Amino acid sequence: MVLAALSGALDTALDRTVVPGFSKIGYAVRRRLPSWPADPRPGSLVGKHVVVTGATSGLGTATAHQLSDLGAHVHLVVRNADKAEKVARELTGPSTTWVCDLGDLDSVRACAEAMLADAPPIDAIVHNAGAMPPERTESPQGHELSMSIHVLGPVLLTDLLLPKLEGHDARVVLVTSGGMYAQALPVDDPDYERGDYAPATAYARSKRTQVELLPVLTVRWAAAGIAVYVMHPGWAATPGVTESLPTFDKVMGPILRDADEGADTSTWLVAASPRPRGGGLWMDRRERSTSFFGRNSPTSDERRRMWQWVASATGLTP
């Protein structure tokens, strides 16, 4: 009992100090705590079909490999089929490639239509697709691109695929970022049309939106038996970080997690038995607070208004 309490206190302290907790230091320490959950058993995903978006780079590729190693048939949802072919060749198990640009809602609808026609029942979706445009960029539908790729596309794709997900105790994981802790829900300017555009701010605002939509999406998809999670990978060394945040990458590089460490909790959420409780933010196999000391926590009315904007933008019924 005392050991468990001490482990919990150390884990929480790592969260609050941020740098150790989000870096590879936090991951290494937590893995050695007695509270660390067991790894998924070998072969635990044999016969399962798991969709991974953004599977051709960084955390997406690492997630695809980890799921494949556990026996899953991995469905690679990508913009570039040639890059996906290289990933598919290196997987240990079967895979299928679907071409889709998560930032283009028409592409999302076309992909969903193809998957509804030809894909088998789906057991999980891991939304890894991400981008940090250097300047304000609009999607084909006129939405700020970070918000479209990280929020609108994933919500629409998942909602359209409900017929493939329902009845399987399915799991949906949205991969977020620690930057979201510094941003409030952009309910009054979701498309970042006001003020000076900052790429990292736009990225973090969209990631905050993922987190704050959790209660809404949990209720919306409950009838299909889906558990929804947002997963914070910590600070991981990926091509996206190197390209978009070169100063951060240079300063923090020595303590950044590798892609496998960053992807670990996504894979664990998909494979863990029994299924972890949905509706929360997870990092290092444990549910975490969505804000520190209540900072940037929205009201229920702000969440409702944000969801109404998402539903309107995607054409879904609120």
Measured at the CA of 39, the angle between CA 34 and CA 45, to 5 degrees, comes to 160
Report strand pairing: 286-288 vs 280-283: antiparallel
Measured at the CA of 59, the angle between CA 270 and CA 179, to 5 degrees, comes to 100
Kindly report the backbone phi and psi dihedral angles of residue 115, in degrees, each rounded to the nearest multiple of 5, phi listed first. Answer: -70, -35
Other C-beta atoms lying within 10 Å of the C-beta of residue 163: 13
Q: In angstroms, rounded to a whole number, what is the distance separating the alpha carbons of residues 281 and 290?
A: 6
Q: Determine which helix (DSSP H) or strand (DSSP E) holds 174, and give its type and residue range.
A: strand 171-175
Of 129, 148, 128, 130, nearest in space to 138 by CA = 148
Three-state SS for 282? Answer: strand
Of 50, 173, 58, 157, nearest in space to 101 by CA = 157
Among all chains, which residue has been given the structure tokens 């054409």?
315
Q: In angstroms, rounded to a whole number, what is the distance separating the alpha carbons of residues 171 and 309?
A: 24
CB 66 within 8 A of CB 89: no
Q: How many residues are present in the chain?
A: 318
What residues form DSSP beta bridges with 49?
73
Of 130, 56, 57, nearest in space to 95 by CA = 56
What is the set of active-site residues?
Answer: 203
